[in-house]
Amino acid sequence: MQLPAYYEDLTCQRVNTTPDRAYYIPASAELDDPVERREDSDRFVLLNGAWKFRYYTDMTRVADDFFLPGYDANGFDTLHVPSVWQYNGYDSHRYDDSEYSQPMDPPFVPWENPCAAYVREFDWTADPAAPRAFLNFEGVDSGYYVWLNGEFVGYDEVAHSTGEFEVTDKLVEGKNTLAVLVLKWTKGTYLEDQDKFRTNGIFRDVYLLRRPANHLRDYFVNTEPTDSGWQVRVRMNFEGGAVEVGAKLLWQDEVVDQAVCAPLADGGEYTHVLTLNVTDPHLWDTEHPNLYRLELTAPDEVIVDEVGLRKVEVDGIVLRVNGQAVKFRGVNRHDSDPETGPTVDMEHMRRDLRIMRRHNISAVRTSHYPNDPRFYQLCDRYGFFVMDEADVEAHGPLALYFEAPTPAEQRDLLDRGRANIIAGNPDWMATILDRVERCVRRDKNRPCVVMWSVGNENGFGVCIEKALEWVKGHDPSRPTHYEHLSPNDSRRQDDHSNLDVLSRMYYQPKMLDEFVQKHPPKPLVLCEYAHSMGNSAGDYEDYWRYFQSREQSCGGFVWEWCDHSVYKGKTEDGRPIYLYGGDSGEQAHGGNFCVDGMVSPHRKPHPGLLEYKNVNRPARSEWKDGVLTVHNYMEFVDLADLADVEWELTCDGRAVQSGMLDLPPVAPGAQVDVGLPLNVPAAGKCQLKITWRQKRGTDLVDAGHELGFDAITVANADGANQAAKKLWQQTACGQLKVEQGQRYVRITGADFAYEYDRASGLFSAMERGGRKLLEKPMVWNIWRAPTDNDCKEQVKWRALGYDRAFGNTYSDRIERDEDGVKLTATFILIAHGRQRAVEGEVCWLVDGKGDVRIEVDAKLLDGLPILPRFGVRLFLNRQLEQVDYLGVGPLESYPDKCRASCYGAYTNTVSNLMEPNIKPQESGSHKGCDWLELSGGGVKLTVAGGQEFSFNASHYTQEELTTVKHYHELEHSGHTVLCLDMGQTGIGSESCGWAMEEQYRLSRELSLKLKLNFEVE
């Protein structure tokens, strides 16, 4: 099939589409719910469902007449629309982060350009009151030609924006044949280089709208405060000729005001206007998503919309909504489902928003394209700020390569080339502007949209400048955004005058002050930060502290909401099979870089989401001398109206006092002191937990839902855990027999026998009551299965052999006294072919009861990279499944990832401790422990700390977690593998960011103090 090559023509953005307009659904009478039930409109004809479908490897294979009525489609399959063909067995899956999936030869595409033919028959009956018909495609990736009843309708190619065609003169009474040819690659693909699985097809709804001959075409709602209240101004234009439009503004079914449109003398593209006044306004914000009902009535047609009264403004360096400075508690969200890809329905969108709100997220960046128009209506209703981003991402030019005499010249040459190939190339101006305009025009009436973003990671240049200029001219009521600073052309002075905010990605808090000082004074937003890949979320608290301490900061958007994957069912034992980049035979791909979400592909929250939730709790408190100081960090609601407050004092994990706090009014941003006397025990580790709970239920959050908590350490005379202190200090007398060999030392008591390896300085065997306690010898442990955030550090760790280090002793002493047998050795940790990593001394004490105490004093040698962990590893019987501990839980906890957990007594199982990351890695550890019990199969191991320790219990070895690529491929080791550590290095977010802060790294001074007690039945 040969067609006009619109898909490579930069002068042709579309053919025969109608002018862009705001999204709405007309009807002949008022719709009760135009958001949830748009199909109730008699003017809305949905064309979703079973379509005839055929996939081709290139256009030359498509039959020239497939679009004609009566064409024999026996060779076609049946495909449900909306959907994408890769998730239905056609073509292959491919994930790319930044590289193009097609050759980088803009605006051209390969001759072998896969495509698919779609055919749908439907019945049509004309409506005399609404004789005109408009065909809408809400999302098609990437470009598409349309025919109706054999006649060419038009062409369009912006994947995530609506394309509308008038088809009045092509429809017939009765049976009609709609045909579409979808291309995989177009010139538009160069601007759709988003970090996601690359998919194609008609992936959003297709429908027809019936309209009167003359009708309201577009309208633009603006709201502004006045001296007497608020004003709602509606500008409009018409198709076919102006008609009288009457408007009603209703609040909870009561008419607030009504008006009739009048000509607008100098409105430009809008020819008429009407004004509605509100004297007793109910404002829209994230805590009070108040919406007025707007009814626009014209001859033979009614349009119902929802209006929020809110004003967004940049006040110097502060971003304000309704006069209040705001901090985005945001997240970047892709349309992504593991079974349908980018095709998501209303329940999917609603579920995402429900989970977000229950975890204190109240802002969304639509990375990196406009979402389904109903997503914004849901955000209006549920109270979410939205940064609406145009479908403009030309990330692929980062792959450009040039050589130059010096590195500096090469860098400059690369930046110029990358910026100028598209973003700085005037030839692309119309194409980029078209995409930005579509985004703004469609979503302009949504109160949730508080900022326009003209794209993502294109570099900077004249096309971006013009896009910003157009947005500011068309809608000055909202600020503009673009993360724009690299790459750019050093030969020109970029024009940032139409950019209202400063924006950065992944900068650490300590880098941001220097950044803002180099740029004009504007609000600062982090459009992406805290990369949530695998075991992540190590720096949320540091970012929160920065946001709150800087007036200029308006918060940010975590990258990203969900793990992207392709779901392939479950294993025999019920584990989900998720595929990522490279699992479908792609030669070039982004690996598991798409597995970087706060929730799993099926929306199970990861621990990092819980971490984010508690860092962003609505309030924080401090206790001192019987007074609780409470600070409200919400922006639009009094804390007393939002939350009920519970308090509980615990000592060594046991509750000793509790109650409800009578909270007085606490205005947004304010703090109050509340009396809270406590009866603090003189001894034990004491903690006051303040829990904030939702006072009243909302559409998304039930009453009583936990909004967050504070865990406050309460000082006393002896703050040590008393049970651990007692076990650590006590020793038992008993007859011990010591048999000293050249390598092994055997220590035998009344019912136990231990074998000590003088070569390693650890025990190689332990038995009690005829039961084997160790399945394998103990080993020193300085390795962890690399997290995704260890991607850079682990290169150094491997180079030093941390992953294969072993212990070697140089001198030892075996002594006996009244406490038992003491085994002392100097040791090193080293790998074959590598230098020493650790030097130290280990001392074991075995008492007459068989309890074993270990004390280690060691250090990491100078000049070596910080260890991921330091401790010992025990291989126990797999039946030791029950876990009870006193430490920081119940979620996994690390030095920089512990804000969603607190010190307490917890019970779990070994099988449930590990987080099922799609790509296996270190997870499930717990810091700050004083006490641990593992039990099962008639054996119990108790561990008490002479100092706080960290533990990890799993049925998988570190070696397997290091090498296996997918969670569903892991094989049970046959053991319960127990890691007892001084601690671990933190988690950070270096998978797409900067190196971890020094305070979260493991100390170079290493120590371990543990007491082990085995009991058998």
Is residue 883 domain-resident?
Answer: yes
CA separation for the pair 328, 311 (Å, rounded): 16
**Contact (CB, 8 A) for 952 and 913:** yes
Query: What does residue 752 show for φ and ψ, rounded to 5 degrees?
Result: -145, 155
- Domain for residue 519, yes or no? yes
Q: Say yes or no: 822 and 900 in one domain.
A: yes
pLDDT for res 614:
99
- Residue 583: inside a domain: no
Q: Residue 712 pairs with which residues in a beta bridge?
A: 688
- 231 shares a domain with 192: no
Query: Minimum mean pLDDT among 37-41, 135-139, 393-397: which range?
Result: 393-397
Shared-domain flag, residues 141 and 26: yes
Domain extent for 912: 725-1016
- Region of poorest pLDDT, from 55-64, 488-497, 562-571: 488-497
Per the prediction, the chain carries an average pLDDT of: 96
Residue 37 lies inside a defined structural domain of this protein: yes
Catalytic residue among 192, 239, 306, 528: 528
> Could you report the per-residue pLDDT of 528-567, keeping only the tens digit for each?
999 999 999 999 999 999 999 999 999 999 999 999 999 9
Same domain, 190 and 220: no
pTM (whole model) above 0.75: yes
**Does the structure show a pLDDT above 90 at 277?**
yes
Burial of 446 (0-12, 13-18, 19+ CB in 10 A): buried
Q: How far apart are CA 590 and CA 613, in angstroms?
A: 29
Catalytic residue among 157, 166, 389, 457: 457
CA atoms of 48 and 208, how far apart (whole Å): 11
Looking at the structure, tell me whether residues 883 and 818 fall in a common domain.
yes
Q: Which pLDDT value is given to residue 485? A: 58
CATH number at residue 77: 2.60.120.260
Shared domain for 186 and 44, answered yes or no, is yes
Residues 470-496, buried b or exposed e (16+ Cβ, 10 A)? bbbebbeebbbbbbbbebbbeeeebeb
Report yes or no on 967 lying in a domain: yes
In this prediction, residue 459 carries a pLDDT of 86
Q: Are 738 and 838 members of one domain?
A: yes
Q: Do 888 and 917 share a domain, yes or no? A: yes
Q: What angle do CA 982, 984, 985 make, to 5 degrees?
A: 140
H or E element: which one contains 437? Answer: helix 429-443
CATH number of the domain at 334, please. Answer: 3.20.20.80
Both 338 and 431 in a single domain?
yes
Element (H, E) at 612: helix 607-615
Separation CA 686–CA 324 (nearest Å): 38
User: Is the pLDDT score of 409 beyond 90?
Assistant: no
Does the pLDDT value for residue 698 go beyond 90? Answer: yes
User: What local confidence, expressed as pLDDT, does residue 487 receive?
Assistant: 59
Is the confidence at residue 417, as pLDDT, over 90? no
**Which tokens is 515 given?**
């950044």
Q: What is the DSSP letter of 34?
A: T
Domain boundary among 211, 236, 255: 211
Q: What is the mean pLDDT of residues 441-449?
A: 99
What percent of the chain has pLDDT above 90? 93
Beta bridge partner(s), residue 218: 237
CA–CA–CA angle 16, 205, 196 (5° rounding): 100
247 and 155 share a domain? Answer: no
In a domain, 195, yes or no: yes
Which two three-digit tokens encode residue 164? Answer: 């509308």
How many distinct structural domains can be found in the chain? 5
380-385: average pLDDT: 99
Q: Is 138 a catalytic residue?
A: no
Rounded alpha-carbon distances, angstroms, from residue 478 to 330, 382, 774, 912: 18, 20, 65, 47
**Burial (0-12, 13-18, 19+ Cβ within 10 Å), 945:** buried
- If pLDDT is split at 50, 70 and 90, which confidence band does 732 have? confident
Domain boundary among 299, 327, 346: 299
* Same domain membership, residue 917 and residue 772: yes
Q: How far apart are CA 806 and CA 28, in angstroms?
A: 79
Give catalytic status of residue 157 as yes or no.
no
Query: What are the tokens at 647?
Result: 């308090």
Q: Shortest CA distance to 616 belongs to which of 306, 266, 361?
A: 361
As a whole number of Å, the CA-based R_g of the chain is 32
Residues 896-946 have pLDDT tens digits of 999 999 999 999 999 999 999 999 999 999 999 999 999 999 999 999 999
**HEC per residue, 111-134:** CCCCEEEEEEEEEECCCCCCCEEE
Q: 942-1000: per-residue pLDDT in tens?
A: 999 999 999 999 999 999 999 999 999 999 999 999 999 999 999 999 999 888 999 99
Say if residue 188's pLDDT is above 90: yes
Name the more confident of 969 and 419: 969
pLDDT, one tens digit per residue, over 208-261 is 999 999 999 999 999 999 999 999 999 999 999 999 999 999 999 999 999 999
String of DSSP letters for 904-965: EEEEEEHHHHS---SS--S---EEEEEEEEEEETTEEEEEEEEEEEEEEEESS-HHHHHH--
> Do 630 and 605 lie in a common domain?
no
Of the CA atoms within 13 Å of residue 718, those in its CB half-sphere come to: 11
Query: For residues 636 and 286, is the Cβ–Cβ distance under 8 A?
Result: yes
Q: What is residue 733's predicted lDDT score, i.e. its pLDDT?
A: 84
CA atoms in the 13 A half-sphere facing the CB of 991? 26
Give the CA distances from residue 175 to residues 123, 153, 212, 673, in Å, rounded to whole numbers and listed in that order. Answer: 4, 17, 22, 73
pLDDT bin (cut points 50, 70, 90) of residue 775 is: very high
- Note whether residue 586 is domain-resident: no
Confidence of residue 416 (pLDDT cuts 50, 70, 90): confident
- pLDDT reported for residue 486: 60
Taking residue 175's Cβ as centre, other Cβ atoms within 10 Å add up to 11
Which helix (H) or strand (E) is 211 found in, with range? strand 206-211
Boundary-marking domain end, from 684, 719, 754: 719
What CATH number does residue 669 fall under?
Answer: 2.60.40.10
653 located within any domain? yes
Q: What is the largest CA-CA distance in the chain?
A: 106
